[in-house]
Amino acid sequence: MGRANLVLFWSIQASALLAFAHPPTLGLVALPLASHYGRMIGITLCFHRHMAHRAFHLSRPVRFFFAWLGVSALQKGPLWWAGNHLYHHKFADREGDPHSPVASSFYHAHMGWFTNDIRWDNVSADNPVVREFTRFPEMRWLDRYYAVPPILLALGLFLAGGWPALVYGFCLPTFTLAHSTFAINSINHRFGSRRFPTNDNSRNNFWTALLTLGEGWHNNHHRFQSSEKQG
């Protein structure tokens, strides 16, 4: 991750603490829930199930809508996200897996690979996700200008509700989105149950499933990767 992106990432993480400066109201409690789960749908439905695993077809307008939601979570672009996810499955818990707590440390699997490991900054042109979706100019645009959707979301929230809306609608849920997604890489390869004897350490975890709209049933997913079922 470049220095500017790294500063932005840690600034957003730290900004979640600003929630302590604004006592929550009913509306301010609902806002981070809507922002967290709304953007999580973009990640899990579009980046993960549709783009990485081709579990179902989406029309171009619908794909762009959900990809925009996913990009607004501030986890880089759709080609980068889905492309790196394929490496995770190809080399699960072995050398070549971007984020395995078995092949590396728990911290590296959780977020070190995302923030500090330059090996994963770019996805190869021969990656199946890149080959498939670079055909669409709107997906190339989102992947290149992935900062635009979160900036527009943050600006819209600020204009609509000032600093409290920005903090509760963007800063806090962007923090929870990051660590909920990262938890599937770290926690779900260390803690939980194994329903299927896969060739990796993937596990099902009820708590991470709650945070990620079902992605916590990770061992099930490693066994049936092309399934659209979330659990």
Q: How confident is residue 121, by pLDDT bands cut at 50, 70 and 90?
A: confident
Q: For residue range 153-200, what is the model confidence (pLDDT) as tens digits?
A: 999 999 999 999 999 999 999 999 999 999 999 999 999 999 999 999
Segment 10-59, tens digit of pLDDT: 888 888 888 877 777 877 889 999 999 999 999 999 999 999 999 999 99
pLDDT attached to residue 29: 86
Q: pTM for this structure?
A: 0.93
Average pLDDT estimate for 90-109: 95
Q: Give the 3-state secondary structure of the chain.
A: CCHHHHHHHHHHHHHHHHHHHCCCCHHHHHHHHHHHHHHHHHHHHHHHHHHHCCCCCCCHHHHHHHHHHHHCCCCCCHHHHHHHHHHHHHCCCCCCCCCCCCCCCHHHHHHHHHHCCHHHCCCCCCCHHHHHHCCCHHHHHHHHCCCHHHHHHHHHHHHHHHHHHHHHHHHHHHHHHHHHHHHHHHHHHCCCECCCCCCCCCCECHHHHHHCCCCCEHHHHHHCCCCCCCC
The reported pLDDT for the residue numbered 5 is 67
